[in-house]
Structure 1
């Protein structure tokens, strides 16, 4: 397993599907703070509004299971019959480019990463009420069957909020992004202060 260096942190964005966790992560991590994100692999089909290499790496189940058998995945989970995972080499290579990275994971994947890296992992739980996440999924073009599968996990996903370091009710994207950015910058300042104290 990859061993995080002293100043390296992983910021994980999690929460129910339709909460805006991925949108918040891109706005804060990529656009505002210029952090590097690590993209998950999945066996599910790409949706019309998604982009290969930006939302996920889309691979076959055989490819996924072969990579898993070779020990390439740092974490992997199965949700609604589809496999999802983060490759350890992607984590390592991204850390070589940047001191902190961000991930977008469902609660199960978030918990695995937290258990692996402990206090080096800061979880941001992004959520909205059930009706709002349903409306957002309809707006982006998900069909009814996909939405029903997502909503079936809603209560279970929401229960993970209590486990996370920070939680944000996401109704105004710019407000949520501003709050998350401030908290991440506080972590950066803390690390910088620790580094200066050691000098």
Structure 2
């Protein structure tokens, strides 16, 4: 397993589907110049999702082959679909950056925390159930997909108290600002005032 150095941090954005994890994670990642580690998934892309940008979309057979060869650091099954993070991807990104970020459900976040300990900072994002449902409808998700996500809502919300930080997300700019301020202490970018 890759040995993390003192400055390495793995920021994990987690929370229920529809909580705005992706939007916030990408905004915070851009602010800090962090690279995203992209999960592999066996489900079909949803409207607006791009292969290699949102996920690596692969077949069940490809996933099983990668899993058989021990490529996944974490692998979870959600509603019959498999999601995994390759250890090699984390290692490669950390070779070029002190900090990286991922967007994971509570199981994936828990697995990375067990592996990397205090190098992992979990940011839990949430909104009330009705807001989550409205956001998913606006994204054009099918009703059965929304229903599946809502079935996991309470379980995902239960993970909130395990995370290092939790943020209610109703305003992208405000939430991004608050998280950026919180992460400054962890990331210690050694910003120098040039005046």
Q: Give TM-score, length-normalised by structure 1.
A: 0.93
Counterpart of 2:149? 150
Tell me the alpha carbon deviations over residues 103-160 of structure 1, each in whole angstroms, 9 at most, x when there is no partner: 1000110000000011010000000000000000000010000000000000000000
How far 1:79 sits from its partner (Å)? Answer: 0.3
The aligned counterpart of 1:81 is 80
- Corresponding residue pairs, total: 191
**4+ residue segments displaced more than 4 Å:** none
Shift of 1:32: 1.1
Aligned-residue CA RMSD (Å)? 1.2
Q: Provide Cα deviations, 1:15-73, integer angstroms capped at 9, x if missing partner.
A: 000000111000111x2111011000000000121111111000000100110110000
**Distance in 2 separating the partners of 1:2 and 1:188:** 20
Q: Matched residue of 1:186: which SS? A: helix
In structure 2, what is the Cα distance between the partners aligned to 1:111 and 1:133?
23
Whether 1:23 and 2:23 are equivalent positions in the alignment is: yes
- In the alignment, the residues of structure 2 paired with residue 6 and residue 71 of structure 1 have an alpha-carbon distance, to the nearest angstrom, of 26
Unpaired segments ≥5 residues, structure 2: 191-195
Residues in 2 aligned to 1:2 and 1:45: alpha-carbon distance in whole angstroms: 31
Q: Which residue of the partner structure matches residue 59 of structure 1?
A: 58
The alpha-carbon deviation at position 96 of structure 1 amounts to: 1.1
1:3 shift after superposition = 2.1
Report the Cα offset of residue 4 of structure 1: 1.3
Q: What TM-score do you get using the length of structure 2 for normalisation?
A: 0.95
Partner of 2:13: 13
Aligned to 2:104: 105
Gaps of 5+ in 1: 193-199
Moved more, 55-64 or 2-11: 2-11
Moved more, 157-166 or 4-13: 4-13
Looking at secondary structure, tell me which structure has more helix per residue: 1
